[in-house]
């Protein structure tokens, strides 16, 4: 069921995505879209983790320094739906190809309608969010996916799937009940583990209490 709040938020995200990549060629659009989704992932993880996470976690060589690692860890923590994880990996692959594929055979042009970008674009899935779109938007989405080989359709579909994926991440972030906090009795060597703010769940010595 789509609520008015859902649609307001979706339209805001869609408008933001279009402003980011409008009037850009597919290469630049793919890079910017990937950076946008990666930034949302980092915001999601930071919202869930303790407030003062070590800076080295986010450094290039740190465990959360890459797009792929941010997505994998968010998914492993249960912060991403299956559909969101599939889409994020496809968007990441498109970003990587746009950044590193020279395109000698195509006059240095990277095109969403041609392999390998088109292959990754076809890997995306709308999941349950398709059903949350208004009926006219569902029809548009289905038509775009059917005509994905047409240049203008591929670009519109890419914008839509990036927006849907962004909404999946934003919805999770706004619905988090609380962030992890360090218990007040924690001290070095105590193995106090973590606690969820506002909840009674604590893990100590590997057990939930």
Q: What are the pLDDT tens digits along the chain (209 aa)?
A: 456 676 677 778 888 888 888 889 999 999 999 999 999 999 999 999 888 888 899 988 899 999 999 999 999 999 999 999 999 999 999 999 999 987 666 556 789 998 889 999 999 987 777 777 777 778 888 888 888 888 889 999 999 899 889 988 988 888 887 666 666 655 444 444 444 444 433 333 333 33
Instruction: For CA atoms 156, 157, 158, 163, give the dihedral sign.
Output: positive
C-alpha–C-alpha distance, residues 132 and 57, integer Å: 35
Give domain limits for the chain.
Answer: 4-176, 178-209
CB atoms within 10 A of CB 71: 24
**For 4-176, CATH number?**
1.20.120.330
């Amino acid at each position: 069921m789509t609520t008015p709040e859902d649609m307001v938020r979706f339209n805001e995200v869609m408008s933001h995505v279009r402003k980011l990549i409008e009037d850009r060629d597919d290469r630049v659009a793919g890079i910017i879209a990937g950076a946008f989704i990666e930034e949302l992932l980092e915001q999601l993880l930071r919202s869930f983790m303790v407030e003062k996470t070590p800076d080295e976690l986010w450094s290039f060589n740190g465990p959360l320094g890459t797009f792929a690692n941010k997505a994998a860890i968010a998914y492993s923590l249960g912060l991403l739906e299956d559909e969101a994880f599939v889409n994020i990996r496809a968007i990441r692959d498109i970003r990587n190809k746009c950044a590193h594929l020279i395109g000698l055979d195509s006059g240095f042009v990277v095109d969403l309608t041609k392999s390998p970008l088109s292959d990754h674009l076809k890997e995306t899935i709308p999941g349950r969010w398709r059903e949350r779109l208004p009926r006219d938007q569902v029809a548009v989405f289905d038509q775009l996916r059917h005509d994905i080989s047409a240049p203008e359709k591929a670009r519109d579909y890419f914008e839509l799937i990036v927006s849907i994926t962004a909404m999946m991440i934003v919805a999770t972030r706004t619905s988090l009940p609380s962030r992890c906090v360090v218990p007040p009795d924690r001290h070095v060597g105590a193995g106090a583990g973590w606690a969820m703010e506002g909840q009674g769940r604590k893990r100590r010595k590997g057990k939930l209490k």
